[in-house]
């Protein structure tokens, strides 16, 4: 059997092997034990280049994980994650990401690869192909599409559902939301904030079609002052969310925002924004814009009828 060449192809191949193994031994399908898979599979399929070590080490700040060749030149490989990372979901995603580099990129990168937390959020193939490929592989391996669709089908998506899915697959909340964003027909956006600013954001395809998105990191954009993310509300309020009127977030529509505040001290926020299912039509847009302009004029004139 020939070997796959794409991230999805590799993930599907490994998922098939795992399913057979799990069925034969009566094991649960999820979450996936990436460390065991990496070592067993590489030994069998690439006996000259097996992964013989998967472990945590104290790596420099900002480095999430590494794929490294054995320094002796034996041909063995090691996968390392930064042991300062406490979240098991982030660790698991990092291991899968590095396994993706091993399968797809070790021949072109014989010296190995070092990956930052920013790389783990790099999904743009045009900007950083190999990081995007490693992420795609990790996402498909840990959360196979068929199962993810089955689990999310017909449910009203909120932070609780996303947390449940993140637990099922042992991935971070961010990874689960990003996965859902790739399959949903909802107009949605994930916004990750750091210290009051937008660190990165991603719009679902249907929202992109309405041209609502934050451009990639060209400038520093503060979180909207009226957003939950900027207001540091209590955890329950953030999870339950708030329906903002038009004008708080991007676009001229009301937005339902649900935000989770990271327990760490890095002041990170993860916001899931849900826009109305139906994008406003062109004439509605014109009307909304006119209203917004009038509002601004009213405010400028120091009052208005409201």
Instruction: Report in angstroms how near the CB of residue 50 gets to Zn ion at its nearest.
Output: 20
The DSSP element (H or E) to which 238 belongs, if any, is helix 235-240
| C-beta closer to Zn ion: residue 135 or 269 | 135
Q: In whole angstroms, what is the distance from residue 96 CA to residue 273 CA?
A: 27
**Could you tell me if 112 and 66 are in contact, meaning their C-beta atoms sit under 8 angstroms apart?**
yes
Instruction: Report in angstroms how near the CB of residue 120 gets to Zn ion at its nearest.
Output: 7
- DSSP-assigned letter for residue 119: G
| C-beta closer to Zn ion: residue 131 or 257 | 131
Angle (nearest 5°) at CA 137 between 130 and 169: 140
Instruction: Report in angstroms how near the CB of residue 97 gets to Zn ion at its nearest.
Output: 5
Instruction: Report in angstroms how near the CB of residue 88 gets to Zn ion at its nearest.
Output: 19
Nearest to 17 by CA among 89, 115, 76, 103: 103
| C-beta closer to Zn ion: residue 101 or 239 | 101
CA 275 to mean position of chain CA atoms = 19
| C-beta closer to Zn ion: residue 106 or 179 | 106
| C-beta closer to Zn ion: residue 129 or 211 | 129
State the sign of the Cα–Cα–Cα–Cα dihedral 126, 128, 133, 135.
negative
Instruction: Report in angstroms how near the CB of residue 15 gets to Zn ion at its nearest.
Output: 21
Instruction: Report in angstroms how near the CB of residue 171 gets to Zn ion at its nearest.
Output: 16
Give residues with Cβ within 8 angstroms of 160, minimum separation 6: 239
Which residues form the interface with Zn ion (CB under 5 A)?
A: 115, 119, 131, 134
| C-beta closer to Zn ion: residue 100 or 247 | 100
| C-beta closer to Zn ion: residue 65 or 280 | 65
Q: Looking at beta carbons, which residue is closest to Zn ion?
A: 115
**Could you tell me if 268 and 230 are in contact, meaning their C-beta atoms sit under 8 angstroms apart?**
no
State the sign of the Cα–Cα–Cα–Cα dihedral 8, 14, 16, 18.
negative
List the beta strands (DSSP E) in the chain: 51-57, 63-69, 77-82, 113-116, 188-194, 197-203, 242-244, 255-261, 268-274
Instruction: Report in angstroms how near the CB of residue 113 gets to Zn ion at its nearest.
Output: 5
């Amino acid at each position: 059997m020939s070997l796959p060449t794409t991230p999805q192809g590799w993930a599907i191949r490994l998922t098939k092997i795992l399913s057979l193994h799990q069925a034969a031994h009566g094991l649960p399908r999820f979450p996936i034990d990436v460390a065991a898979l990496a070592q067993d599979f590489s030994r069998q399929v690439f006996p000259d280049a097996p992964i013989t070590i998967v472990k945590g080490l104290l790596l420099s700040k900002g480095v999430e994980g590494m794929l490294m060749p054995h320094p002796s030149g034996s041909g063995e490989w090691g996968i390392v994650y930064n042991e300062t990372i406490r979240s098991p979901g982030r660790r698991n995603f990092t291991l899968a990401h590095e396994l993706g580099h091993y399968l797809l990129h070790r021949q072109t990168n014989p010296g190995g690869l070092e990956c930052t937390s920013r790389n783990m959020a790099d999904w743009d193939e045009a900007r950083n192909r190999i990081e995007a490929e490693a992420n795609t592989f990790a996402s498909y391996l840990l959360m196979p599409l068929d199962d993810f669709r089955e689990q999310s089908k017909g449910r009203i998506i909120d932070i609780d559902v996303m947390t449940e899915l993140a637990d099922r697959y042992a991935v971070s909340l961010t990874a689960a939301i990003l996965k859902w964003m790739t399959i949903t027909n909802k107009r949605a956006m994930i916004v990750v904030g750091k210290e009051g600013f937008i660190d990165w954001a991603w719009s679902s395809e249907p929202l992109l079609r309405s041209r609502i998105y934050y451009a990639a990191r060209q400038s520093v954009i503060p979180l909207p002052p009226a957003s939950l993310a900027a207001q540091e509300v209590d955890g329950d309020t953030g999870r339950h969310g708030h329906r903002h009127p038009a004008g708080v977030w991007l676009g001229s529509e009301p937005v339902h925002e649900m935000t989770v505040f990271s327990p760490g001290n890095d002041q990170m926020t993860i916001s899931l924004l849900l826009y109305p299912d139906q994008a406003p039509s062109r004439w509605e847009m014109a009307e909304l814009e006119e209203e917004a302009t009038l509002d601004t004029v009213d405010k400028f004139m120091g009052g208005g009828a409201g």
